[in-house]
Homo-oligomer: A and B are copies of this chain.
Amino acid sequence: MHLTKVRVVRNALDANDTIARENREDFDREGVTVVNLMSSPGAGKTTLLERALHDLGGVRPGVLEGDVRGCLDADRIAELHIPVAQIETGEGFGGECHLDANMVRSALPSVPLEEIDLLVIENVGNLVCPAEFHVGEDYRVMITSVTEGEDKPLKYPLMFRACDLVIVNKIDLLPHLELDLDKLLDNVEAVHPGVERLLVSARTGEGMDEVRDWLVRAATRERVPA
């Protein structure tokens, strides 16, 4: 029973990776760098994007929003007057807890790849499954909020290991929390040694210049074909 389950999951991941490669080829053809942005619900993905996706030195951004239900985040991003498309994962069943390559593929006709240089895919808020499904991205970025506690890297190691950048958000709240920031950073280092980290407050703007610099570097870096 256990073996069967693992085999089914493995097949599903293989099928996902095939579609992810097709997505990646489309992105490469159009010269679009793709960032898969992941976090817990409410860690500040959308607020971070509202703050980050302007003044990118000529890099033209676009956003693909993933949510179980609704288009609240897409509406917020649309205010920035940049291309945004929405994937709603909540059809049928109780809603998928992550984006997969096929969901992204089905949304691509709504994304004007020829008009953008950087596509940020905002995943469903979840620290487990999004890390298991490649969608054709060049980079994976995760946000951990200081309100979530020091222990999250140890409890959700795959997510912290799967990403190229860890953004520690809501640092404006540090004076009001008992969080040990050094311990959080030590835990990040323990599960993903050497991973790049940025400390920010998307609300106050602290550290957001560094996030924009990172995005510009990602979008203009020599790209490795899929």
Copy tally for this chain in the complex stands at 2
Q: How many residues of A contact B (CB 8 A)?
A: 43
Q: Are A154 and B69 in contact (CB under 8 A)?
A: yes
In the complex, A177→B176 CA distance in Å? 11
Q: Given that A41-B40, A42-B40, A147-B145 are known contacts, is A128 also in contact with B170, CB under 8 Å in the complex?
A: no
Main secondary structure of the interface of A (DSSP, over half): loop
What are 24 sample pairs from A and B whose C-beta atoms fall under 8 A apart?
Answer: A2-B92, A41-B152, A41-B156, A42-B145, A42-B147, A42-B152, A68-B156, A68-B157, A70-B154, A72-B154, A94-B128, A94-B129, A94-B132, A95-B156, A96-B128, A97-B129, A125-B127, A125-B155, A125-B156, A126-B127, A173-B173, A173-B177, A176-B176, A178-B203
Give every chain B residue within 8 A of A92 (Cβ-Cβ). Answer: 2, 6
